[in-house]
Structure 1
């Protein structure tokens, strides 16, 4: 007798324990994807749902360490759903700390202009546009393939008329000369040490150019942060995601650029982002 969907789900979750810290969640997402339904609709239907064709193949891909988001082509972030491909990093809940910090800073007056540096999937810019309906934004990325993904997401979310995507690298001379100033700058740069040990699903599948930043993980901060004062409006806020333990070194770079630094913690109490403001503001 063929397995029920509930039995197939339990078996898949058990198998995925060898490759995932969230095996049951992964199995549910993959089963729902195979069935063509959202995960919230899955559990009430488990008793009567036949095992969808293709579910076993999806589980096998996950057993090969392929991230769930690349298998399904989708990842939730903040209050939006984003298309993702191997051309972009998978948006993570850690990065939502930047959006929370922006909302806290702009509680009385909302930003009108947003710059997203290294946009990838567009996660930070599009989440900020969702949080600040009167704002518009510009996003840059050195990867043309990533910009295609971000543009698709902007279109799907109805934000295309509020966005501009530019194929630029902050390492190129003059990249920001025509941009002006912004009320809110968001940046999740590469910050992983070049010799860091990463899980296979990250190391083997996510784009290395968006992960690694030299021996100490600080190469891109050294390039970007000195350019922030010219790009940030007088009362504006720039938010940088950082890796665990990087706050002292990145803070020194910001202070050398005459910026005031504020720390923002994630739910685990780790300093996950730094807010930079002009030292003469507020």
Structure 2
């Protein structure tokens, strides 16, 4: 990345080759995203005028970004944001990078919202708004996406890390749902009142403690340990979430949780032990069991 500033096309080709040589599988996509950000271009600009030389400032920004990516820092961390559910989410060191698999939690929440609303006796309504509790909210991606999709819903987003709570609050405002998303610093549902939620949503930490050091550098060195470490068996957070579920859920409510490979049966057992009925696991796009919905008995 040294010497006279290259054209846009040359810069893209060189960076793609460098990333690919470093063993980065997403080299072409990463190079395109970094170049667009460094040169403050749209993808259309990049391909419509490929022979335009990069100015010196853009070239310097690209070189700095390239060095960070070659050190295995995720592109989303370098750019400071990631898209989720078609919405932009700013990141902080205290938040996970939102991943596509987590959108299945939002999809399940939308389906459960329709079921709960349709099944309620209108004469028995209390006037309380449909409420979602997002436990371990991180960037707020689940709570914000659900509130954005469900105009009649409000969300309570909870995170133990104050910096994550700040990020979640900013993302709620940024995506136009700041008036319907409340953010609380706390441990899972401990700060929530009885019968306060229709849905409990969560993508909690589910990696076994001894497996953390074996994670890819992109995750191990850049995602917060608090959001990764699920305890000795990876299930510590699920026990806490389901232990409080019956207390905080309203009638006909449900819990929707994401989990890791091979954990579906154990999480279903935890749900049953706490008086909830788990449904068969929802598969992600790779065919892996990824989300469980558990309803009140």
Band of TM-score, shorter chain: over 0.9
Q: Paired residue for 1:46?
A: 50
Matched, 1:205 2:222: yes
Instruction: Give the Å deviation of 1:158.
Output: 1.6
Partner of residue 25, structure 2? 21
Question: Structure 1 residue 117 and structure 2 residue 147: aligned?
Answer: no
- Aligned-pair distance for 1:49? 5.3
Task: Give unmatched runs, 5+ long, in structure 1.
Answer: none
Aligned-pair CA distance for 1:104: 2.6
TM-score normalized by the length of structure 1:
0.92
Ranges of 4+ aligned residues in structure 1 off by more than 6 Å: none
With 1-10 and 134-143 compared, the bigger mean Cα shift is at 1-10
1:249 paired residue number? 266
From 199, 205, 209, the equivalent of 1:184 is 199
Q: Provide the TM-score with structure 2 as the length reference.
A: 0.88
User: What's the secondary structure of 1:195's corresponding residue?
Assistant: helix
Q: 2:72 aligns with which of 65, 72, 76?
A: 65
Structure 2: gaps (5+ residues)? 119-128
Per-residue CA deviation, residues 214-254 of structure 1 (Å, 9 max, x unaligned), is: 12111111222111111122122211010011001111000
Alignment of 1:129-278 (within 5 A): 129-170=147-188, 174-176=190-192, 178=193, 180-196=195-211, 197-262=214-279, 263-278=281-296
Alignment deviations for residues 6-26 of structure 1 (CA, whole Å, 9 cap, x no partner): 111111111112252211111
2:97 corresponds to which of 90, 97, 101:
90
Greater C-alpha radius of gyration: 2
Conservation of the 8 A alpha-carbon contact between 1:65 and 1:201: yes
Distance 2:112 2:53 in 1: 47
| C-alpha contact 1:19 1:63 (8 A) present in aligned 2 | no
- C-alpha separation between the residues in 1 aligned to 2:206 and 2:194? 25
1:55 matched residue in structure 2: 62
More off after superposition, 213-222 vs 98-107: 98-107
RMSD (Å), alpha carbons: 1.8
CA contact (8 A) 2:132 2:143 kept: yes
Report how far residue 142 of structure 1 moved.
Answer: 0.4
Q: Is the 8 A contact 1:9 1:27 kept in 2?
A: yes
Query: 1: CA distance between counterparts of 2:296 and 2:46?
Result: 49
**Which residue does the alignment assign to 2:124?**
none
Q: Which has the higher helix share?
A: 2
